[in-house]
Homo-oligomer: A and B are copies of this chain.
Amino acid sequence: MTTLHVQVSDAPLDPTAALEHCSAPGHGAAALFIGRVRDLNQGRQVRAVSYDLHAVLCRNVFKEICAEARGQWGESLHLWLTHRHGRLAVGEASVIAAASSPHRDESFKACRYLVEEMKHRAPIWKQEHYIDGDSDWVKGHALCSHG
């Protein structure tokens, strides 16, 4: 069994699968994060969000982030990082990150690390659709090479 799961998908994300993946007889703790589409962003009322992403590079970046988390909080960590693409309505999950570990501190920190790094490094973009009919690409974080 592989203890690392990264994926991008246009199908709804499954937190139950993430929690099953992030478990082991020696793991006393699992932490999970869900990001969902919010009805309000910077004062504008949002109806839906379209996510665009570079699938192959995204998976590579996800794997890289997970490897870093294991380097920092333990090679035995089980990790899960999935991001959805396509058009999502308010309330739908755009990202699920999860981690399990023997003790809770590592799970919390690794889970948060996956989320933060994904937001800053993964090639993902979002276009917000407002209730007034307008749409806008959200400003993001500029990427730089690690080389």
CB distance from A3 to the nearest CB of B (A): 15
Q: Which residue of B lies closest to A30 (CB)?
A: B34
Contacts of A104 in B (CB 8 A): 33, 35, 115
Taken together as a complex, chains A and B put the C-alpha atoms of A38 and B104 apart, in Å, by 12
Contacts of A40 in B (CB 8 A): 26
Taken together as a complex, chains A and B put the C-alpha atoms of A84 and B104 apart, in Å, by 18
Q: How many copies does the complex hold?
A: 2
A67 interface hit (Cβ, 8 Å): no
Interface of A is mostly: mixed
A contact residues vs B (CB 8 Å cutoff)? 15-16, 19, 23, 25-40, 90-91, 102, 104, 107-108, 111-112, 115
Q: Given contacts A15-B16, A31-B33, could you give 14 more A-B pairs where the C-beta distance is less than 8 Å? A: A15-B32, A23-B36, A25-B38, A27-B38, A28-B35, A29-B34, A29-B35, A30-B34, A30-B36, A31-B32, A32-B34, A33-B104, A33-B108, A108-B108
A–B pairs, 25, beta carbons within 8 Å: A15-B19, A15-B32, A19-B34, A25-B38, A25-B39, A26-B40, A27-B36, A27-B38, A28-B37, A29-B33, A30-B33, A30-B34, A30-B36, A31-B31, A31-B33, A31-B111, A32-B32, A32-B33, A32-B34, A33-B104, A33-B107, A33-B108, A38-B102, A104-B115, A108-B112
